[in-house]
Chain A
């Protein structure tokens, strides 16, 4: 067989049949659902009198509409949202689909819950009615988002009519500078290639920088690949990924373990495999990145100024001007020192334990600025419990952060965590779209450490100045 990319290997291993030049019937190993993009799919299924093909390879989570107030028993006050949750339970019960319900101790964001319990394994195809399903590339699984019609298709057949993607390789070499993270790296990459720079492609990330990233950092990177328009993101699963999965999947033992290890060792792009597009980035060019506009490619390094003559984020002048009008900024301005009223820490991009550790490191011994409301929403019940047992929650509460229940929360503000017009928010989330966190609210995407620095100083601040101080104090 000719040389294949990792992407082609995964597609080949899941192709039930080829439908035409562009489409295959692709088998799904795992299908994740949430309460808001699945109801109409179940309704369609019931209308047609169709069954769920493989219930045991489907799982549902209440994540988007759930309130995150720090109460023991959560009650969804909004009647429509409460109906979405009860409807999800009814659908799951009817079809025997595993569910992480509203008051389940392990409830959380789908993309946090699934991997942390070992449900995501190298070589899988994982599909979900949520665009951030690209996250699973971090473990060498092909994950991608779909719409509700396709959710219905997967429920009924455990397959999807899948349009083949082009392949892109992004190589990153070198050591990430102190004070920078996978979030800064991905914001930099998106700012260079654009919000549609990877449209139509599945990206494979590789290089020494990627190899050195923890799995959680790789989740962040692959999660945001969709913000460059990517149809998927992959990282070949090496020892780090294998260890992560085996620690969380106690069913993979004995002979099956040997089989799995042998298979996972074959999951890489062949040396002479051809990619349709290639990029190279040096890690030494990464600085803390922050968005200034309303598209994720409108991002700059914290020590840079907003320019309207450079980069794909400003290719359309009218859109760039509109973005500046919305965020109340001007060409030539820096983001450094810009006051924020709100800080949000959480989401499927940055709501995991390593993210919270990074926040705690900055917050320890400091206080949230008086005019700032800072919320921490762990990605899942398991993350929350871990943070509490490590003392992170105490540090954050002591510093004046709100320590809340898990969920998607203010990432898309579908629950009651909504910002008011004109509120400026330092956010660890993935989208700075107009109105995303509330009508007229302004979102600046950044890393967890940067968001923590904004919380304690009350303004967008270069977290590297903190790191230097600490190095001196040590």
Chain B
């Protein structure tokens, strides 16, 4: 069962450090103008060999991890490029949560904005979780978002999530709409800001006009 309070499913271990977004979503899948078709790109060069054949030894290709909903990864998962395609692709592939000791900062924000749950646990807890889900048939985990707990065969861990991020995940807030509710404050701020720092107003437009003249 899965909803935005609870994620239950198979967890696949990927115990590498610094799994960057270039590996999560290689360049050749970044050429679209919409978000579609990204499931194919997820971990492409790890999932497929150079001839395009599935690599049997890659964790997400192994039958016991078919339909995995959770990844358990090493530190700094999602570092590198800002490409949000990495998050869209993971979700299109069926991943609903990633558990790791730490995450790349831009990736973290991207995930929160798309309701891909990121769970930060200590290195020891992640190691224990990986040990739990590596033997065949023991890969089921449950993440209770409201209670902020992770449960596997033998591990039970608590995680933290900023109140804003928990709300974003559970309720799916329209962040832009919320900011636009402050439109008059933004406009008042901009007026004051430009009075104080007039050299910052419309700098792109003014520069482009000067260069085109």
Query: Chain B interface: which of A119-127, A338-346, A367-375?
Result: A119-127
* Closest-CB distance, A458 to chain B (whole angstroms): 26
Interface of A is mostly: loop
- Chain B, range 151-182, C-beta contacts under 8 Å to A: 162-164, 175-176, 179-180, 182
Q: How far is the CA of A37 from the CA of B83 in the complex (A)?
A: 7
Given A40-B34, A434-B22, A196 and B102 contact (CB-CB distance below 8 Å): yes
A435-B22 in contact (CB<8A) = yes
Interface pair B31/A200, CB less than 8 Å apart: no
Assuming the contacts A129-B82, A315-B17, A322-B16, asked whether A249 and B199 have C-beta atoms less than 8 A apart, the reply is yes
B9-37 toward A: CB 8 Å interface, digit per residue (1/0)?
A: 00000011110101100110011111100
B202 pairs with A421, CB closer than 8 A: no
Known: A121-B200, A121-B203. A229 touches B105 (CB 8 A): yes
**CA–CA, A95 to B110, complex, Å?**
25
Q: Which of B53-61, B62-70, B135-143, B184-192 interfaces with chain A? A: B184-192
Min C-beta distance of B152 to chain A, whole Å: 21
> For chain A residues 60-89, which have a beta carbon within 8 Å of chain B?
64-65, 78, 80-81, 83-84, 87
A131 touching B114 by the CB < 8 A rule? no
Q: Is the CB of A59 within 8 A of B211?
A: no
Is the CB of B81 closer than 8 A to any CB of chain A?
Answer: yes
How near does chain A come to B77, taking the closest CB pair, in angstroms? 10
A84 and B203 alpha carbons, distance in the complex (Å):
25
Complex CA gap A147/B113 in Å reads 9
Contact of A319 among B16, B102, B186 (CB under 8 A): B16
- 28 CB contacts below 8 A, A to B, read A13-B193, A14-B193, A16-B189, A17-B185, A20-B163, A37-B82, A37-B84, A40-B34, A56-B203, A58-B204, A59-B208, A80-B32, A83-B33, A84-B32, A98-B204, A123-B197, A145-B82, A147-B83, A150-B110, A156-B179, A156-B180, A161-B164, A199-B104, A259-B197, A316-B74, A414-B27, A431-B20, A433-B20
Q: How far is the CB of B118 from chain A (nearest CB, A)?
A: 13
Given contacts A121-B203, A147-B113, contact A131 B182 (CB under 8 A): no
Contacting residue for A148 out of B84, B189, B197, B201, CB 8 A: B84
Q: Does A221 contact B (CB under 8 A)?
A: no
**Which of A153, A163, A433 is within 8 Å of B175, CB to CB?**
A153
Assembled-state Cα–Cα distance A163/B163 (Å):
12
Are B31 and A65 neighbours in the complex by a CB distance under 8 Å? yes
Which of B32, B33, B109, B201 is the one whose CB lies under 8 Å from A147?
A: B109
**Residues in B neighbouring A153, C-beta threshold 8 A:** 175-176, 179
What A residues does B106 contact at CB under 8 A? 131, 145-147
Inter-subunit contact B23/A433 (CB<8 Å): yes
- Residues of B near A316 (CB, < 8 A) are 16-17, 74-75
Closest residue on chain B to residue A20 by CB atoms: B164
What chain A residues lie within 8 Å of B26 (beta carbons)? 435, 439
Contact with B along A204-242 (1 / 0, CB 8 A): 000000000000000000000000010100000000000
A149 on the interface (CB 8 Å rule)? Answer: yes
Residue of B whose beta carbon sits closest to that of A42: B33
Contact B204 A84 (CB under 8 A): no
Residue A30, interface by CB 8 Å: yes
Closest approach, in angstroms, between the C-beta of B172 and any C-beta of chain A? 12
CB pair B81 A412 closer than 8 Å: yes
Other-chain residue from B31, B75, B176 in contact with A36 (beta carbon distance below 8 A): B31
Segment at the interface with B among A46-54, A299-307, A466-474: A46-54
Stretch in A250-258, A271-279, A392-400 with 4+ CB within 8 Å of B: A250-258
A43→B105 CA distance, assembly (Å):
25
Residue A158 at the B interface, CB < 8 A?
Answer: yes
Complex CA–CA separation, A123 to B198 (angstroms): 12
Q: How far is the CB of A187 from chain B (nearest CB, A)?
A: 16
Binding stretch for chain B, among A21-29, A175-183, A283-291, A327-335: A21-29
Q: Which residues on the B side are within 8 Å of A336 (C-beta)?
A: none
Interface presence of A282 (CB below 8 A): no
The interface bits of chain B over 91-120 (1 if a CB of A lies within 8 angstroms of the residue's CB, else 0) are: 000000000001011110110011000000
Query: What separation, in Å, do the CA atoms of A204 and B147 have in the docked complex?
Result: 38
Q: Which residue of A lies closest to B74 (CB)?
A: A316
A308 near B: Cβ within 8 Å? no
B76 in contact (CB, < 8 A): yes
Taking CB atoms, residues of chain B closer than 8 Å to A48 are 176
Query: CA A196 – CA B120 in complex, angstroms?
Result: 15
Tell yes or no: A159 within 8 A of B by CB: yes
- Do B200 and A124 touch (CB < 8 A)? yes
Shortest CB–CB separation between residue B21 and chain A, in angstroms?
9
A121 partner residues in chain B, CB cutoff 8 A: 199-200, 203
A59 to B212, CA, bound (A): 14
Contact B186 A57 (CB under 8 A): no
13 other contacts beyond A16-B186, A196-B76, A439-B45, with CB at 8 A cut-off? Answer: A23-B164, A27-B190, A43-B33, A57-B202, A121-B199, A147-B107, A149-B84, A156-B180, A157-B180, A199-B104, A256-B199, A319-B16, A319-B74
Supposing A22-B162, A434-B23 touch, asked if A199 and B204 sit within 8 A by C-beta, the answer is no
Cβ of A19 within 8 Å of any chain B Cβ, yes or no, is: yes
Nearest-Cβ distance from residue B78 to partner chain A, whole angstroms? 11
Known contacts A121-B199, A131-B106, A78 near B207 by CB under 8 Å = no
User: How far apart are the CA atoms of A145 and B163 in the complex, in Å?
Assistant: 23
Give the CA-CA distance A149 to B75 in the complex, in Å. 24
Is the CB–CB distance between A43 and B84 below 8 Å?
no
Cα of A329 to Cα of B188 in the assembled complex, Å: 59
Q: Are B82 and A84 in contact (CB under 8 A)?
A: no
Name which residue of chain B comes closest to A152, CB basis: B176
Question: Who on chain A is nearest to B19 by CB?
Answer: A319
Q: Whole-angstrom distance between the alpha carbons of A440 and B202 in the complex?
A: 44
